Amino acid sequence: MSITVRGAAKINLHLGVGRVREDGFHPLDTVYQAIGIHDDLTVATADALSLLTHVADHIDPASVPDGDDNIVLRAARLLAARTGAPATGAFVVRKDIPVAGGMAGGSADAAAALVAHDRLHDLHTPDDVLLALAAELGSDIPFSLVGGTARGVGRGELVTPVEDRGAWWWVAVPSTVGLSTPVVYRHFDVLHPDAPEVPASAEPLLAALASGEPVRLARALHNDLQEPAIDLRPELGDLIVRGEAEGALRGMVSGSGPTVVFLCESAEGARETALGLAGSGEEVVLTATGPVAGAHVLTPV
């Protein structure tokens, strides 16, 4: 038997970051959206646990760890340990989501691995258990299960779907060199030692989403990690200026970066912005709509 599960990239439409806590984590108020850039994960019945990764041309194969360091195998092992299911399955991942780009590609794979391993072994794990295991593996992974558009609080792992009346057009420009999430958070702490304990509220962004109006959403986009990311990589600021000059309504660093996303007015607007950025030398320019589904089975079981 083999099963294919699709996982989606995420962007943060709002990322409010509060002052770092004693335990080292930052309280977040964030709004995630799953967008149409995907990794597909197939798992087949096997006697042992194994993993093969194929990457799209724009991804450096060396950037994706193999073996036990890959989050796919960690997810399968965790589900097996907690349910008593066998830790077996031959996994193959086809990656299109930029790596270490702030688009949660690893989280998409982990969510897909939980769903695929559950189906392969016919476990019928309840949703709340899958969500708890996802949160143990990483703060973005519960959202990768849920997909669509959702608010995340706590460390971002407590997710609730929100009203979203738009079909939004995005252009994403990943960087060939990743930007480590912990480094960006540490730089946020340096720049903002007196950040408020309570992160900036996502409420204004939620109102814009419910309106379905791109111009209103563009105005409401907010990312507290953009300033530290641009301070570490000033070229990201230049890229935002260029994309907006090419017609995007608004450019923004995605999560902790270095991927930059641009909200566009329409399909035509996204095409023009993407063409303009490609013409000005950007090697990889991806166009996607959102929201899309979270981790879901593509093949019939």
Please, is 218 exposed, middle or buried when counting C-beta atoms within 10 Å of its C-beta (0-12, 13-18, 19+)? buried
108 is in an annotated binding site: yes
Interface with ligand ATP by CB under 6 A: which range of 64-72, 121-129, 193-201, 267-275? 64-72
Binding mask 177-216 for ligand ATP (x = CB under 6 A): -x--x-----------------------------------
Verify binding: residue 72, ligand ATP, rule CB under 6 A.
yes
Cβ atoms of 179 and 257 closer than 8 Å: yes
Verify binding: residue 2, ligand ATP, rule CB under 6 A.
no
Verify binding: residue 246, ligand ATP, rule CB under 6 A.
no
- Given the residues 39, 109, 118, 140, the one annotated as active site: 140
Shortest CB 165 distance to ligand ATP, Å: 26
102 is in an annotated binding site: yes
**Residue type at position 85:** A
Chain positions 130 to 169 lying near ligand ATP, rule: CB under 6 A, are 140
Interface with ligand ATP by CB under 6 A: which range of 23-31, 80-88, 95-103, 279-287? 95-103
- Given the residues 10, 29, 39, 95, the one annotated as active site: 10
Cβ atoms of 108 and 97 closer than 8 Å: yes
Task: Output 43 or 247, the one with its CB closest to ligand ATP.
Answer: 43
Closest CA to 261 of 167, 170, 147: 170
Task: Output 142 or 269, the one with its CB closest to ligand ATP.
Answer: 142
Pairing of strands 28-44, 2-17: antiparallel
Q: Cis link prior to 291 (omega < 30° from 0)?
A: yes
Sequence-ordered list of residues with C-beta below 8 angstroms from that of 39, at least 6 positions apart, any chain:
6, 7, 93, 94, 95, 96, 97, 105, 108, 109, 112
Give catalytic status of residue 122 as yes or no. no
Closest CA to 100 of 13, 157, 199, 182: 182
CA distance 238 to 230: 9
Catalytic residues: 10, 140
Binding site for ligand ATP (CB under 6 A): 64-65, 70-72, 99-107, 109, 140, 178, 181, 255-256
Q: Which residues are annotated as a binding site?
A: 98-108
Q: Which residues are annotated as a binding site for ATP?
A: 98-108
